[in-house]
A and B are shown apart, each in its own frame.
Chain A
Amino acid sequence: MANTISIILLILLGLSLVYVLVRTLKGNPIGRRIVFLYVAIAAAIPLFMDLEVPLPITTDVRNLYDALEKLPDGSKVMAAFDYDPPSAPELQPMAVAFMKYAFKRDFKIIIMGLWPQGPIQANMAIDEAMQDPEIAAKNLQYGVDYVNLGFQSGNEFVIQSMGTAFKTMFPKDYRTTPYDSIPLMRNIVNFSNIDFVMNFSSGEPGTIQWVQIAVDRFGSVLGAGNTAVQAPQVYPYLRAGQMVGLLGGMSGAAEFEKITAEKGKASTFILSQMIAHAIVIILILIGNVAYFSEKRKKK
């Protein structure tokens, strides 16, 4: 029912764009606020629908997944949360899917953040992952199976000093438990004791710094989830093998949810994302059609 109404509304929205085209061609473009309205409606309607769209898995997501699959169960994985709430729609689904996957694989997870909001977002992701019955049954314990070292200031210098010893930058975890009395951290001194680093990043400090320091200086293996704004910039690292894989933006998140079979928010958002892209593409087309017809008239 909701699907049918939504589809009808979307079709009406599409038809009304013809009117926009005509108006624009006549040299009377629609105002900013009407454009805003179009975007809001186009992004909102699909949220009411529950259609599944086919989603091919891209190479970068598959590479990351393969690298994770190759890690033995129980590997020590660092999860660095370097983002804040505005980027959560893109990165939180990745983080939740990653946490679920990692807990099911019995990875020992060490969380930290170069952004003060990061560890909070990490706790939210853990809370959500813990609601999965399979994970709940494992009765995972803080300090033994996972730990949240919290946030530390100093940006890239934090990673740099962690290269010698994590403890220099994180003498206590986020609950002020001393580093040495956390069972999980007992034999973990620096990156050479960690099997994999997963970074969720929405800017700097973030993936770029993790590549430059943790990977190129201290030899870590890095995978990352990035906001779409940042993702194109890290492709050279990906190609040069400085990163093993990348989840880029909402589609990266949805693909990761699909490949790990941990369906979450990204899978439901991707339809909205699709329609929103369609609107932008159509708006660019209309604008340019009008531009060229005007150009021809002038000739």
Chain B
Amino acid sequence: MFRVILTLLTSIKNPGKIKTILFSILLILITIPNLNGQENEVESSNIATSKIVASILSAPTDVSAKDTDNDKGQSITINWTLSADDKDGGAVSGYKIYRAVEGSNEFVEVGNESEGTTKSTDNKTTDGVSYIYRVDSYQILLDSVGNKSFVTSASVASSPVKSSAQWFNFNRGYCLIFVLFVSGAIIYYIRKASAGGEIYVRKLGGIDAVDEAVGRATEMGKKVFFIPGIQDMNNVQTIAGIAILGRVAQKAAEYGTWLEVPVSKSLVMVTARETMKEAYTAVGRPDAFNEAQVHFLTDDQFGYAAAIDGMVVREKPATIFYMGAFFAESLILAETGNAAGAIQIAGTAMPSQLPFFVAACDYTLIGEELFAASAYLSGEPRQLGSLKGQDIGKALFLVAIIVGIIMESFGWTIGGHNLSAIFKVN
């Protein structure tokens, strides 16, 4: 009877009606014979107006319950076979799932699934307690006034089951192997690079373009601008951009070209000054570096863009570099630079801004190329090593894709599994 009360209690929408409802419960208790789970049962949410319909609804069968696989515990999965009345246009409106601790007969509703469903998950179990489950099919009936009444039919209870947490998620076994392989490769090459091992990174097209572009500015006797994006030093793209600034600064120092770096974050300003000082010192011209070459504009996005806009229009630099993380301001910058006739070289890993740079700049480092260029230029073992490690990962995937396609095409499998099923994780 607990269930009836519970259903009624949850249907309380107006606390003022509590008296009526209590009265209804009393009525139900008196009028309806005490039905056990195995028989058809009629419930009513509003006893005063509903008609009791005694149609026979067939119950779901083969109710089984098992501990949910590969989880943290406290969960049991219940499966059943559809009620014979659950088909298109059939009577079943849905299923209610009830649970009882083994030995007691106090079933509590733990789930409500729509018609056509054969599975439910009870996520409110206590690990180690033995439960049994019962699934009721139900039909909602509307009388002429629009009041709802329910016809339900209960299944045979499942055999007892306990929930528990698992020590390993076996769905993810192959995934672990791949993770260990790729991580291993990355760590191996970082170590190798740190120990002074030679790591080959191909020379990227953009790096040649850097030298050329600075050279052109020298010939024309104009300035070079370097824009490191609007993100702070905690963004890897900004860091990569600053590494490239080192190279640009060296070239500028060699040629004696004025390199200007307007920034939008104070930390970037400090780092950029350091980097440039180092670069100028490296080519033996520390005195040629002027701190005013790196200056802070504003940390506001559009304000920064507008300020650079003004600078570009006034000073018409020969070359502009955009290296770092860019957002919507990329458009304004690239457009103005283009209109001023500057050679523009960009590099960013922001996918939504890449199209604009590609369309409006002479050379663009796309995504990972930015990091590769920075690794190449800085020669830092961490970066070089991980670049190589990542390439091993790519090689693994390339080979896997090709082998996979061949195997899928000929229907070959490994131990009964498609190769794609081994890679797929869910």
Contacts and interface: CB of A to CB of B under 8 A. Distances in A.
A72 B117 contact: yes
A75 B111 CA distance: 12
Contact of B114 (A73, A190, A216, A233): A73
Contacts of A187: 109-112, 124
Interface in B95-130: 109-112, 114-117, 120-121, 123-124
Contacts of A73: 114
Interface string A175-191: 00000000100110110
A123 interface: no
B152 interface: no
A165 B114 contact: no
Given A74-B94, A187-B112, A192 B121 contact: yes
A195 B120 CA distance: 10
Nearest to B68: A192
A interface, over-half SS:
loop
B60 to A, nearest CB: 15
Nearest to A75: B114
B426 A74 contact: no
A85 interface: no
Contact of B115 (A72, A165, A192): A72
B425 A190 contact: no
A144 to B, nearest CB: 7
B123 A189 contact: yes
B114 A186 contact: no
Interface string A140-153: 01001000000000
A144 B13 CA distance: 9
Interface string B222-255: 0000000000000000000000000000000000
Interface of A: 71-75, 141, 144, 164-165, 183, 186-187, 189-190, 192-193, 195, 216, 219, 229-230, 233
29 contacts: A71-B114, A72-B94, A72-B114, A72-B115, A74-B94, A74-B114, A75-B114, A141-B13, A164-B72, A165-B123, A183-B10, A186-B10, A187-B109, A187-B110, A187-B111, A187-B124, A189-B123, A189-B124, A190-B123, A192-B75, A192-B123, A193-B111, A193-B120, A193-B121, A193-B123, A195-B114, A216-B426, A219-B426, A229-B352
Interface of B: 10, 13, 68, 72, 75, 93-94, 109-112, 114-117, 120-121, 123-124, 351-352, 425-426
